[in-house]
Structure 1
């Protein structure tokens, strides 16, 4: 495993991280034992950058990671997020999640995460979504106080526009910006990646495999569990699903020529980017994690990188990334 400094920080993270969301939420059936085994295997292989959030579960994903780490806490760089709150009184599912960036909630959320993670300090603490009702300077100011108190080492924000990133960074230096980024989600190439590079902020790519779609292992909507949230995601519904399959077929053909899996080729494209990007693909099973780690050994020529980029131009995926009731700032 190779490592690099994340942004302007002293965090030395593995070139590929591990997104832990699917171990507790959103993607259907999961087994705690399998998740813990996968976490242990990741650490043994040198994957030291773990990503979670208080809303995964909700709350249970942080507890799962604490259980898995036990005496391994010092072996990892732990990132968690706050700011998305469940409103169980909402009229429908799309309205159940609200954003809260108020300073008092920042403090409350951090205390809760520290307890659930069974740790004295969070290595990287993200604002999960931008709260339009609160100036970003106020939210970041509260996060900065957590750093001063020694409860958080570094801070970041997720799914923020370039202007918001700049305002936040002026308030207190950001270490990372996290955003969805993959072959079929290239929105960050519109100013955001440039802004991160100019300000020496690390860019962390979640869903670098398009929520599993770019793995080539999903062929029909029936491949999803009944409670898998992708059944309600615009890109996986009706005609959109089958139009997007055509994009993946191109990826499959190139992967066959390259002698690797579609997932490995998709990850290699992210890792080959001229921008320094840290992907955090999610894995619940060791076999998938092994496949993802092996992508680090795949070298793409400039011609291959460009060919993939041409197959997946900006906005090539059919359907929005999220439903209208849950659109982040970067989609508004």
Structure 2
């Protein structure tokens, strides 16, 4: 991740625009194979009929509630978080612009080589907000670190609310997560503060910087609580209610696994994580079904919506090229 900050403009342009190599295609195929295998194993273990029956028990009212809550959190609050981090890095933009930036890059990781979505964000900030590539890359990395800090903070919150069973290893895990959250927050703060010192004209004024950073961290925690909320609502809709404290303690650990490089946005990993970490709290079929609902609401639908923004976003990032040229060079056709 930190190597991303060392890219020159030329290196970044070459990476962002290059076609997928055989190695990239192999990695994507391997990730898809792992995802399919995990889903097959999880559903087979829980029973295909049981999972199908569990999903059919979700009432239309619950389905609408889960979907609306997921969209509000994954699109609305995530956009607020991105906008807050951008302001800290000296790139002030409207909510609509931040939404365009987030949704336009959401599907790029699936169709382009690794980190291309991050590179396009950095190019967009350079083209439309006058940010150097280094500052844009710093903002992107800081946002990712803040996301990890928020995820780990949710584990600590769940432990404090009694989500663990009181075992020593669970308190040790909570302590490690607290240290990790502090470390990622400090790293994000340092990157944004450095960018601020270089660009004082556009950034948050010094007296308000710390308060704005705390607000961005709070947005991060709230945005990343979306999966916990969807899991809690889904399990209740499936007739297997689990306490909010348990969900807050265990589901963020699944999110940490979903952020790992080999994970295909958490699909497969999410279902396996629910099954492993919530054993004993609900039936296996309900856990797998809740994972499928979460994957659909938090990953599949936002990605499909992002496809509507993607080509226009690519064209805006490289205004010197026409859209047909972009589609050919980027392998988007």
TM-score, scaled relative to structure 2:
0.27
Larger helix share, 1 or 2? 2
Is the radius of gyration larger for structure 1 or structure 2? Answer: 2
- Higher relative contact order (CA closer than 8 Å, sequence separation 6+): 2
TM-score, scaled relative to structure 1:
0.27
